[in-house]
Amino acid sequence: MNDLINNWKLIILLCLTLGLAPFFPEPHIWGKLKWIAGGAKGMVFKDWFDVLLHGTPFLLLIRIVFLKIKG
C-alpha cells in the first residue's frame, strides 16, 4: 500500500483521470470547489463525498511534492 501512495506516476495518472473526470464542460472537482467557495449552499453528503473522491488524488500529489521538497 505504501508503494502505491508514493508512486508519483500513478498519482499523476489518478489526477488526470479520476481527479478531473468528467472533463467537459469543466472538470467536476473545479465545479465543486467553486460551489464551496460560493458558500456551499445546498451541498449534501453526496456532494462532499464527491469532493473527497475527486480531490484525493490531488492531495496525494501535494503530499508527494511536499515530501520531495522536504528531502
| Rama region for 42: left / alpha / beta (φ>0; ψ in -120 to 50; rest) | left
How confident is the prediction along the chain (71 residues), in pLDDT tens digits per residue?
778 888 999 999 999 999 999 888 889 899 999 999 999 999 999 999 999 999 999 999 999 999 999 98
Other beta carbons within 10 Å of 30: 11
Domain count for the chain: 1
CA distances from 36 to 1, 22, 25, 33 (A): 31, 18, 18, 5
State the pTM of this model.
0.85
The residue segments making up the domain with residue 37 are 2-70
